């Protein structure tokens, strides 16, 4: 499984969240900690990143609240702690407007780098190549095949209507936020968050965060 094979990578947490939320690439890299409610288990999608900067979602439906499961909440709490520690070590300032998935210099991850790093991780894991957007498709397909209400899936994905969802995912066909959470939890199981070393700190040194653009755990062929 992809997440199991990339546990030591800097952006493992980003890939985890995307597989369990179905956010668009621009939406997930635009997230700041102000958008993540770890007490209620909700992600507020308010902006999207483009090559020209941060913009509003492309449609009214894109501005939405997406529920996340308890394992993802635990993962994000650990990830936040690691990001805060990394920021302080380099003498930076961390606050709620900081990006959830920053580069090692604290900047927002760019879209083309997001795809490149994902491509290299997939290759290193020995898996068939998919695009980063394929994580969103995987999320939607899992929910449809497990019988989650199509209106709820469309809402989670930010589709303007159910027709868009069904036209895209007809092949996956077999109501509420709890149903979405249950389907994702059953699909991925209860991964050991404590054992997730993405960004972990050991004796003052980062063992999990590979440098953006390099993914030191990956050997190019």
Quote the pLDDT of residue 1. Answer: 79
Quote the pLDDT of residue 108. Answer: 94
Quote the pLDDT of residue 221. Answer: 31
Report, as ranges of residue numbers, the positions in the chain whose pLDDT lies below 50: 175, 194-221
| Nearest alpha-carbon partner for 117 in 132, 107, 127 | 132
Q: What phi, psi does 148 have (nearest 5°)? A: -70, 140
- What's the per-residue H, E or C state across the chain? CHHHHCCCCCCHHHHHHHHHHCCCHHHHHCCEHHHEECCCCEEEECCEEECCEEECCCCHHHCEEEECCHHHHHHHHHHHHHHHHHHHHCCCCCCCCCECCECCCCCECCHHHHHHHHHHHHHHCCCCCCCCHHHHHHHHHHHHHCCCCHHHHHHHHCCCCHHHHHHHHHHHCCCCHHHHHHHHHHHHCCCCHHHCCCCCEECCEECCCCCCCCCCCCCCC
Quote the pLDDT of residue 190. Answer: 54
CA distance 215 to 19: 20
Residue-range domain boundaries for the chain: 2-206
CATH code for the part of the protein at 2-206: 1.10.443.10
Quote the pLDDT of residue 186. Answer: 72
Is pTM beyond 0.85? Reply is no
pLDDT tens profile 93-124: 899 999 999 999 999 999 999 999 999 999 99
Quote the pLDDT of residue 163. Answer: 84
């Amino acid at each position: 499984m992809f997440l199991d094979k990339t546990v030591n990578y800097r952006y493992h947490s980003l890939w985890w969240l995307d597989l369990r939320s179905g956010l668009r690439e621009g939406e997930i890299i635009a997230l700041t900690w102000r958008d993540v409610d770890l007490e209620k288990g909700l992600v507020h999608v308010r902006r999207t990143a483009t090559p020209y900067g941060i913009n509003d979602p492309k449609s009214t439906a894109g501005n939405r609240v997406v529920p996340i499961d308890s394992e993802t909440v635990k993962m994000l709490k650990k990830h936040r702690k690691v990001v805060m520690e990394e920021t302080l070590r380099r003498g930076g300032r961390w606050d709620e407007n900081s990006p959830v998935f920053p580069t090692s210099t604290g900047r927002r991850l760019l879209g083309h780098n997001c795809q490149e790093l994902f491509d290299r991780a997939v290759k290193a894991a020995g898996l068939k190549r998919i695009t980063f957007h394929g994580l969103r498709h995987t999320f939607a397909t899992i929910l449809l095949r497990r019988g989650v209400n199509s209106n709820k899936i469309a809402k989670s994905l930010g589709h303007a209507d159910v027709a868009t969802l069904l036209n895209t995912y007809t092949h996956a066909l077999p109501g509420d936020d709890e149903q979405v959470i249950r389907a994702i939890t059953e699909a991925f199981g209860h991964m050991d968050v404590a054992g997730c070393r993405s960004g972990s700190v050991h004796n003052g040194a980062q063992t999990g965060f590979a440098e953006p653009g390099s993914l030191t755990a990956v050997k190019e062929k």
